[in-house]
Amino acid sequence: MNAFTILLTGYSGAGKTTIAMELQKEFLRRSMPVELLDGDVIRKNLSFDLDFSRESRFSNAKRTGFLSGLLSRNGINVIVSMIAPYSECRDAIRHQVKNYKEVYVKCPIDICEKRDVKGLYQKVRDGRIEHFTGISDPYEVPICPDVVCKTNKETVVVSVAKILKNLGMQTMIRKEIAYPSLFYTDPEAS
């Protein structure tokens, strides 16, 4: 049985990894085999020899797609959290797996920059990083993603529920206790 592969794509700081970790918890809660392939971890362990040129980003996506396909063919659901800035990167993953779902984690770049815990945006502004998606390198917005999570307007719980619904899984929107203000804060709630 082929499991699914979910690609969460978007700018650095958009909330991809946060959603991916909560989604992984939800699958584990349902006793579903799942692996989370985070872009930073993939870069460190599998694609350490690559830079951030367009060609290297494509090679990184191909490697990630291969690993995702291998896992999913063996019944392990895969959540990939990576920028995957070009349509050809996302296609490189899509073509190596079955049951592919694409989730566009949409967030304005200025909000991503405010959320930046790694200090990457400042390094770009200081000229210490080249080829940075959204500033010095393009991000090709997905044309027809399966799900769009607007992390500047919705909480992580809502984003996860949208993904589960798209997968045909029963969802229960629980009271948001884990991350009550993560991503979006209702101005009328104050």
Is there a contact between 52 and 137 (Cβ–Cβ < 8 Å)? yes
Q: Which residue has the tokens 């884990």?
A: 178
- Please report which confidence band the pLDDT of residue 2 belongs to, taking 50, 70 and 90 as the band edges: low
CATH number assigned to the domain comprising residue 26? 3.40.50.300
Is there a contact between 76 and 34 (Cβ–Cβ < 8 Å)? yes
Section 77-102 average pLDDT: 96
What's the half-sphere exposure (Cβ side, CA atoms, 13 Å) at 170?
A: 2
Around Cβ 142, how many Cβ atoms within 10 Å? 18
Q: Which of 32-41, 73-82, 118-127, 148-157 has the lowest mean pLDDT?
A: 118-127
Share of the chain above pLDDT 70, in %: 88
Is there a contact between 121 and 162 (Cβ–Cβ < 8 Å)? no
Residues 6+ apart with CB under 8 A from 59: 47, 50
Tokens of 7: 């690609």
Containing structural domain, residue 52: 5-189
pLDDT at 190 over 80: no
pLDDT at 170 over 70: no
Q: Which of 126, 42, 35 is nearest to 84 (CA)?
A: 42
pLDDT of residue 171: 58
Share of the chain above pLDDT 90, in %: 74
Section 50-64 average pLDDT: 94
What's the structural domain count of the chain?
1
